[in-house]
């Protein structure tokens, strides 16, 4: 297990380095000159050169890149509005548009994205796995066909359409829910729950449909395995066969996709946060793309890659606990 963790951590470091390199090339070499954007329309070449020098953009590419990487581990010092501003490690740079440290901007918005992601994940796992198991148990019957039609419809509706429809029905027409706002849980737990309920539902519906189909297929396949047939032949109760022998192996692929989905959402649900006006990492990403704020876009990309890699590591470590047939590092 220790060897597995070490190898995964080394692989994670390599992947993050490559992601950093490729992202840096895209946003700092192939994108428009940030100095021109910062300077504005009425700008002189001398002023552009001054901005480029203050940002360190006049340095060679590799010097800029390794300075950025060094800031991730040791921090950096920036000159913002004529004053030295220390950026502690991991330093993700500072925004060209707002002149704020990118790390501070992400830290302020990450709790909102985490709340949306975790709340939606609870709903889609409970709904998707439960309906998937029921579909497998009632294979070919009315309940199975009902869930099949429901999942097909859920997967066909885009998130932004569903979000706008829910807002119109629940907020404007019926007035059952307030328009989503980021109210702290400590301030008003009830309002906090109501404000995040619609984003949770919007995200959960699409994911739950996928989990329903995947769970159904895995459970039906697992029920055909020899070890399940043996358990039935021994005369074990059907509920015990389902719970102890069939369900746990069938959940292994669910854990895999869940880890990736949750990790991806922790990096921000761009469409959902933008439609509902929630200032999470996803909306920060959308705003940064529209203004071409390169350091923010790069930082969010690295954050998303980090969450996905960590999610993959956690999933690998959980395999052996969920499926007895899987033993990490065991020889065939």
Low-confidence ranges of the chain (pLDDT < 70): 1, 40, 80-82, 243, 320-332
Query: Looking at residue 41, what DSSP letter applies?
Result: S
Assess whether 41 and 108 both reside in one domain: no
Assess whether 38 and 107 both reside in one domain: no
Give the domain-ending residue among 66, 101, 136. 101
> 329 in a domain, yes or no?
no
Assess whether 47 and 125 both reside in one domain: no
What is the domain count for the chain? 2
Q: How many CA atoms lie within 13 A of 274 on its CB side?
A: 16
Assess whether 78 and 174 both reside in one domain: no
Q: What pLDDT sits at residue 320?
A: 61
Angle CA(15)–CA(20)–CA(22) in degrees, nearest 5?
95
- Candidates 310, 314, 312, 291; CA nearest to 105 is 291
Give Cα separations from 225 to 229, 246, 249 (angstroms).
Answer: 7, 9, 10
Instruction: In whole angstroms, give the CA distance from residue 287 to residue 274.
Output: 9
Cβ atoms of 127 and 204 closer than 8 Å: yes
Q: What pLDDT sits at residue 278?
A: 86
Q: What pLDDT sits at residue 328?
A: 46
> 13 in a domain, yes or no?
no
Residue-number span of the structural domain to which 90 is assigned: 22-101
Assess whether 170 and 57 both reside in one domain: no
Give the domain-ending residue among 50, 67, 101. 101
Q: What is the pLDDT of residues 95-109, one digit of tens each?
A: 878 878 888 999 999
Assess whether 154 and 299 both reside in one domain: yes
Give the domain-ending residue among 79, 101, 123. 101
Assess whether 159 and 301 both reside in one domain: yes
Assess whether 46 and 67 both reside in one domain: yes
Cβ atoms of 73 and 90 closer than 8 Å: yes
Angle CA(100)–CA(104)–CA(106) in degrees, nearest 5?
110
Give Cα separations from 230 to 17, 95, 127, 239, 249 (angstroms).
Answer: 49, 62, 30, 15, 15
Give the rounded distance of the alpha carbon of 157 from its chain centre: 20
**Contacts of residue 125, Cβ cutoff 8 Å, sequence gap at least 6:** 211, 254, 258
Assess whether 172 and 72 both reside in one domain: no
Q: What pLDDT sits at residue 80?
A: 67
């Amino acid at each position: 297990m220790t060897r597995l963790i070490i190898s995964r951590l080394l692989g994670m470091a390599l992947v993050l380095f490559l992601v950093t390199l490729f992202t840096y090339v895209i946003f700092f070499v192939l994108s428009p000159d940030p100095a021109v954007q910062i300077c504005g329309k009425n700008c002189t070449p001398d002023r552009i050169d001054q901005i480029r020098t203050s940002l360190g953009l006049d340095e060679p590419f590799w010097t800029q890149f390794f300075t950025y990487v060094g800031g991730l581990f040791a921090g950096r010092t920036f000159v913002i509005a004529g004053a030295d501003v220390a950026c502690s490690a991991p330093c993700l740079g500072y925004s060209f548009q707002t002149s704020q440290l990118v790390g501070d901007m992400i830290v302020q918005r990450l709790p909102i994205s985490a709340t949306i992601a975790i709340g939606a994940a609870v709903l889609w796992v409970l709904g998707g796995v439960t309906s998937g198991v029921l579909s497998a148990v009632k294979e070919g019957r009315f309940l199975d066909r009902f869930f099949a039609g429901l999942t097909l419809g859920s997967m066909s509706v885009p998130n932004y359409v569903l979000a706008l429809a829910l807002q119109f029905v629940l907020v404007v027409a019926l007035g059952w829910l307030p328009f989503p706002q980021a109210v702290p849980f400590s301030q008003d737990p009830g309002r906090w729950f109501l404000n995040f309920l619609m984003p949770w539902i919007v995200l959960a519906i699409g994911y739950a449909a996928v989990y329903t189909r995947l769970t159904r297929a895995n459970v039906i396949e697992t029920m055909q395995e020899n070890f399940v047939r043996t358990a039935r032949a021994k005369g074990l109760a059907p509920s015990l066969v389902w719970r102890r022998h069939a369900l746990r192996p069938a959940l292994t692929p669910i854990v895999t996709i869940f880890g990736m989905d949750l990790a991806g959402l922790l990096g921000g649900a761009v469409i959902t946060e933008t439609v509902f006006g929630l200032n999470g990492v996803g909306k920060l990403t959308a705003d940064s793309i529209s203004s071409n704020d390169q350091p923010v876009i790069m930082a969010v990309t690295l954050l998303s890659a980090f969450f996905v890699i960590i999610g993959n590591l956690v999933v690998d470590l959980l395999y052996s606990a969920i499926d007895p047939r899987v033993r990490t590092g065991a020889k065939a």
